[in-house]
Chains A and B, each alone.
Chain A
Amino acid sequence: MRKRTLVKWILVLVVIIAGIGSYTTRSKRATNQQSITAVGSTALQPLVEAASEQYSAEHSGIFINVQGGGSGTGLSQIESGAVQMGNSDLFAQEKAGIDPQHLVDHKIAVVGVAPIVNKKVGVTRLTTSQLIAIFTGKVKNWRAVGGKNIPITLINRTQGSGTRVTFEKYALKGHSSAVAQEQDSSGTVRQIVSSTPGAVSYVSFSYINKDVQPISIDGVSPTERNVMLNHWKIWAYEHIYTNGKPTGLTKKFLNYLQTKHIQTTLFNKLGYISVKDMHYQRTWKGQLSKESGVA
């Protein structure tokens, strides 16, 4: 018993010494390390994360912490100043409960959104009015729009999701989708559409793969080229917001995201469209102006 007490004290001592030792010998980098945090949109997360890794690799002692959490979280956290960058799929103005006054928008990329259907419905093209009829629940069977005799299963993204807002605004011309199944992630939506007969939903271009059938609207197919020319109307910006003008590391990193190197390599891999390649710009209210390049 007494031996045990001794052992206990020795252990405590060792831990303390180890603690002091490791504190004093901590790497010199630690003292001049810089770290910033980006939070928000899960759609933008992979891009920012990949860019931050490259940036950290190129600049030692820099630490960029990229988290998801959703656009709502991104905007609330940047508004409250808890983080340095807030990632969002939507304009801050489009989001209820956000005061956009102090927020500075940095449009990082453009994503296209396309309707997708289960491969067995036998439909590859629709008109806008057909699409609206389907999503508002007026048409209930694929036969009515030239497909097979399969009932339509509607799958929505969650209310407030950027993809859904974009889709309702530009594909359904402002109509709200009928109340139906909701899923809160693109991956799940794709999985459900690919496995459920008669399912229809919408995802951003990067999620389209061989398991699902993308739909052309009014004869325009969902391609990046068509988005750049605004022939394909269903697209949106990916934003990084800062609280006030960006400074220091945040500014450097945002600039880094705009470099040609990143925009050509990472963007292509992820299926994003560079803002520079766009022939048009759009305000949050949807007004178009024929200008290319970044703001």
Chain B
Amino acid sequence: MQNQKLAKQLMKKSKTARYERFGRLLCLSALLLIMVIVIGIIAFIATKGMSTFMKDHISMKDFFTGTIWNPGAKTPSGHAAVGALPMIVGSFLVTILAAILSTPFAIGTAVYMTEISPKRGAKILQPVTELLVGIPSVVYGFIGLSVVVPFVRNTFGGSGFGILSGTFVLFVMILPTIVSMTVDSLKSVPTYYRQASLALGATKWQTIWKVVLRAASPGILTAVVFGMARAFGEALAVQMVIGNASLMPHNLVSPASTLTSVLTAGMGNTVMGSLQNDALWSLALVLLAMSLFFNLLVHFIGKKGAFSK
């Protein structure tokens, strides 16, 4: 019967279906590959980082609350001198300050590029920001050293090396990242949102503030996270201007250090498997944990924002 013939035709796996399965598998394996790499690196850092505590028997308390960093030596009070607190505080401060400083600038610029003058934005600003991403950190570092540090020294006093200089350099470094990602998320806000808002009699500013930015806020948050991620992971440039002293920062112009700067500077000078080296990997682990924390925080904020909308 015709019915059964049709049923047969419809039940047969078509070439398209096989193609679909193949394509899906291909994409899945790409993702799995990335997952393997991610898990590999995380596991690698975790094992290396934990060995400070497991193998070298350093107590977590000494590590997280100590303020003297000289692995292998003892503090005057007899604890192991692996206090990572100054670096943790330093990383935290620099990242947060840089993000706070650059977010309004980045959003302003991105809004300008998408909402006010898209033409000029696409012609000038976008290529320039993309260009800046490619400037090696070491060049940023040297410009920071020859421009920002003297500026901070002359304006705010101190030696010029410190959190503030680090913040300024990072501000410029993460700006392109945040701008270009914010632009992407603003662009993905459908045009009819804007039209609807303008049609309701809202001013351009109200439209931007209440509609466009609100709609793009998850994307903007992601952009900021990525900016902070870059700030977190940045080493060479910050290292040159922050002073790189494992001291608790008492103000914004006193030399301080970040996890990455100590990590990068120390890696080549220590021997794999030694306490000195393990302690550096522990810093990397802290870094990982901190960026996880930031990430979750922002996701949390993002969710809250989504509800109140």
A38 within 8 Å of B by Cβ? no
Cβ contact of A97, chosen from B255, B264, B266, B272, cutoff 8 A: B272
Cβ-defined contact, A158 with B266, below 8 A: yes
Which residues from chain A contact B146 at a C-beta distance below 8 Å? 195
Cβ-defined contact, A179 with B271, below 8 A: no
* Assembled-state Cα–Cα distance A158/B267 (Å): 10
Interface segment out of the listed A66-74, A125-133, A225-233: A66-74
Cβ contact of B276, chosen from A71, A96, A179, A196, cutoff 8 A: A96
Chain A residues 70-88 with CB under 8 Å of chain B are 70-73, 75-76, 79-80
Cβ contact of B264, chosen from A160, A179, A184, cutoff 8 A: A184
Chain B residues 157-195 with CB under 8 Å of chain A are 159-161
Task: State the Cβ distance, A239 to closest chain B Cβ, in Å.
Answer: 14
B251 within 8 Å of A by Cβ? no
Cβ-defined contact, B159 with A97, below 8 A: no
Q: How many chain-B residues does the 8 Å CB contact rule pick out? A: 38
Cβ-defined contact, B274 with A97, below 8 A: yes
Cβ-defined contact, B269 with A161, below 8 A: yes
Cβ-defined contact, A159 with B277, below 8 A: no
Cβ contact of A71, chosen from B142, B161, B268, cutoff 8 A: B268
Cβ-defined contact, B269 with A181, below 8 A: no
B206 within 8 Å of A by Cβ? no
Chain B residues 239-276 with CB under 8 Å of chain A are 239-240, 243-247, 255, 257, 264-276
Known: A76-B273, A97-B272. A195 touches B145 (CB 8 A): yes
A57 within 8 Å of B by Cβ? no
* Assembled-state Cα–Cα distance A176/B149 (Å): 27
Cβ-defined contact, B271 with A96, below 8 A: yes
* Assembled-state Cα–Cα distance A71/B276 (Å): 13
Interface residues of B (CB under 8 A from A): 68-73, 142, 145-146, 149-150, 153, 159-161, 239-240, 243-247, 255, 257, 264-277
Given contacts A72-B271, A153-B159, A181-B161, 13 further A-B contacts (CB under 8 A): A42-B268, A72-B268, A76-B271, A79-B271, A96-B72, A96-B274, A159-B266, A160-B270, A179-B69, A181-B243, A184-B266, A192-B161, A198-B159
